[in-house]
C-alpha cells in the first residue's frame, strides 16, 4: 500500500504553485517590482528573488533515484506504447524500469532488486505530467486500444486455399461442385463480362448446378483437348505414370504378405512410400526434367 505523506506541524512549506506560474512570474519581474509580482502570484519574495538571480535552481526535496535523462527515456517508451495502442498500468511501468536497469547493469539501492515501488511511479508520473496523462499509462484512449470483431477476423483471415477429399482420391462431382461454388463463383461475381476457366476434359466437372451457374454468371470453360495428355499434361505421362506403376508394385507386394487384409493401415503408409521412392531412385529426377523439357 503506498504511503500517504503528511507534513509535520511547523515544518517548511514547499511551493503550492506550478512551474508555469513560476515562469510567468519571473518574466513579469523584468518589468515590475519583485514584491508586486510576488503578491499577485502568491509566491514568496525570497523565492522569486532567488529564481530571478539564478540562485537555488535545483528542485526542492530529496533527489530522485534516477536521472532526468532516464525518466525522459522511460516517458518516451510509454508514449511509443501508447501509439501502439498498448494499455499499461503502474506495474508495467515498474517492470519496464527494472528491465532497463538490468540491461544497463545498474543497481539502485533505493529499489528492492532494482524494482521501483508504487511511490516512485507516482512521483515519476507527477514529474512527467506535461507529456504523460493518466490515460497514457492506464487506458490509452479506449477507442485506440479497443478492436472490433471485424479487425480480429481480418487479422486471422484464412488464406484462399480450399482442401477437399474423396474416397478414391480423385476429383469427383461433389468435390468439383464445392470448389466451383466456393472459389470460382465468388470470383466471377466480382468480374464484369465474359469469364473463362481452364479445366480438364472430364464429365464429372459438369453437373447441372455447375452449368446453371456458368449460364447465370457468363462463365465459359476452355477444356484441355481429349487424348492429348502428353501434349497438355506431360508430367502425367513422364512423371506420374511411372510413379503409379511403381506404387502398384508396392500394393501387390503388400497383398502377397497380407492376403487377409482388406486395407492398408495408416501406420504402414510412410514405410511403403519410402520403398516407393527408393524403387524409383534417380528416375524421379530424370522423369521430372523430361516432363518439363516437353513443355
- DSSP string across 106-141: ---TTSBTTB--HHHHHHHHHHTTTT--HHHHHTS-
The answer to whether residues 216 and 236 belong to one domain is no
- 111-139 residues labelled b (16+ CB within 10 A) or e (exposed): beebbbbeebbebbbeebeeebeeebbeb
Residue 158 lies in a domain: no
Q: Are residues 73 and 134 in the same domain?
A: yes
For 273, other C-beta atoms within 10 Å of its C-beta total 12
Query: Do residues 255 and 217 both lie within one domain?
Result: no
**Of 205, 224, 243, which residue constitutes the final position of a domain?**
224
73 and 125, same domain (yes or no): yes
pLDDT recorded at residue 158:
66
**Predicted pLDDT at 141:** 45
Which structural domain range is residue 285 located in? 231-294
Regions in the chain scoring below 70 on pLDDT: 1-17, 55-63, 83-87, 133-148, 151-152, 155, 157-160, 204, 226-230, 294-295
Asked, for residue 5, whether it belongs to a domain, the answer is no
Q: How many angstroms separate the CA atoms of 103 and 294, rounded? A: 62
Same-domain check for residues 268 and 288: yes
24 in any annotated domain: yes
138 within a domain of the structure (yes/no): yes
Can you read off the three cell numbers belonging to residue 282? 534417380
Long-range contacts made by residues 26-34, C-beta under 8 angstroms, separation at least 24? 26/51, 26/52
187 and 121 within one domain: no
Structural domain ending residue among the three candidates 184, 204, 224: 224
Residue 180, number of CB atoms within 10 A of its CB? 21
- Indicate whether 244 belongs to any domain: yes
Query: Which string of DSSP letters, residue by residue, matches 132-161?
Result: --HHHHHTS-HHHH---HHHHHHHTPPPS-
48 close to 37: Cβ distance less than 8 angstroms: yes
End-to-end CA distance of the chain: 78
What pLDDT score does 180 carry? 92
Query: Residue 234, SS3?
Result: helix
79 and 135: one domain?
yes
Residue 221: helix, strand or coil by DSSP? strand
Say whether both 238 and 281 belong to one domain: yes
Nearest to 98 by CA among 68, 74, 76: 74
Do 83 and 27 belong together in one domain?
Answer: no
For 241, other C-beta atoms within 10 Å of its C-beta total 14
Where do runs of H (alpha helix) occur along the chain?
Answer: 19-28, 34-41, 45-53, 68-83, 90-103, 118-127, 134-138, 142-145, 149-155, 173-179, 185-189, 208-217, 229-232, 234-235, 241-257, 269-280, 283-294
Say if residue 238 is in the same domain as residue 219: no
C-alpha cell, 75? 516517458
pLDDT of residue 143: 46
Tell me, what's the pLDDT at 84? 66
Phi, psi at 249, each rounded to 5° = -65, -40
248 and 207 in a common domain = no
Domain tally, the chain: 4
Decide if 13 is inside a domain.
no
Q: Does residue 161 form part of some domain?
A: no
In this prediction, residue 230 carries a pLDDT of 64
Residues 88 and 30 in one domain: no
Q: Residue 131: inside a domain, yes or no?
A: yes
Grid cell listed for 14: 514547499
pTM passes above 0.85: no
Task: From 146, 181, 197, give the residue that closes a domain.
Answer: 146
Amino acid at each position: 500500500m503506498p504511503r500517504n505523506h503528511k507534513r509535520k506541524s511547523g515544518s517548511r512549506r514547499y511551493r503550492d504553485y506550478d512551474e508555469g506560474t513560476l515562469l510567468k512570474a519571473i518574466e513579469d519581474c523584468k518589468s515590475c517590482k519583485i514584491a508586486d509580482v510576488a503578491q499577485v502570484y502568491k509566491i514568496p519574495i525570497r523565492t522569486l528573488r532567488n529564481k530571478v538571480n539564478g540562485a537555488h535552481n535545483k528542485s526542492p526535496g530529496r533527489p530522485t533515484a534516477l536521472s532526468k535523462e532516464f525518466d525522459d527515456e522511460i516517458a518516451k517508451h510509454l508514449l511509443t506504447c501508447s501509439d501502439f495502442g498498448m494499455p499499461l498500468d503502474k506495474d508495467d511501468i515498474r517492470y519496464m524500469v527494472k528491465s532497463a536497469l538490468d540491461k544497463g547493469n545498474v543497481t539502485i539501492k533505493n529499489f528492492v532488486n532494482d524494482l521501483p515501488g508504487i511511490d516512485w511511479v507516482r512521483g515519476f508520473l507527477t514529474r512527467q505530467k506535461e507529456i504523460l496523462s493518466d490515460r497514457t499509462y492506464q487506458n490509452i484512449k479506449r477507442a485506440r486500444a479497443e478492436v472490433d470483431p471485424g479487425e480480429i477476423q481480418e487479422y486471422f483471415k484464412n488464406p484462399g486455399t480450399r482442401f477437399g477429399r474423396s474416397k478414391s482420391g480423385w476429383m469427383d462431382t461433389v468435390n468439383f461442385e464445392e470448389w466451383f461454388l466456393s472459389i470460382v463463383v465468388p470470383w466471377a461475381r466480382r468480374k464484369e463480362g465474359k469469364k473463362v476457366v481452364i479445366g480438364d476434359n472430364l464429365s464429372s466437372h459438369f453437373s447441372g448446378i455447375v452449368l446453371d451457374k456458368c449460364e447465370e454468371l457468363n462463365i465459359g470453360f476452355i477444356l484441355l483437348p481429349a487424348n492429348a495428355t502428353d501434349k497438355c499434361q506431360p508430367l502425367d505421362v513422364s512423371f506420374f505414370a511411372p510413379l503409379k506403376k511403381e506404387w502398384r508394385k508396392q500394393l501387390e507386394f503388400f497383398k502377397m504378405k497380407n492376403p487377409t487384409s482388406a486395407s492398408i493401415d495408416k501406420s504402414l503408409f510412410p514405410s511403403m512410400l519410402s520403398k516407393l521412392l527408393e524403387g524409383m531412385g534417380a528416375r524421379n529426377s530424370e522423369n521430372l526434367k523430361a516432363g518439363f523439357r516437353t513443355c
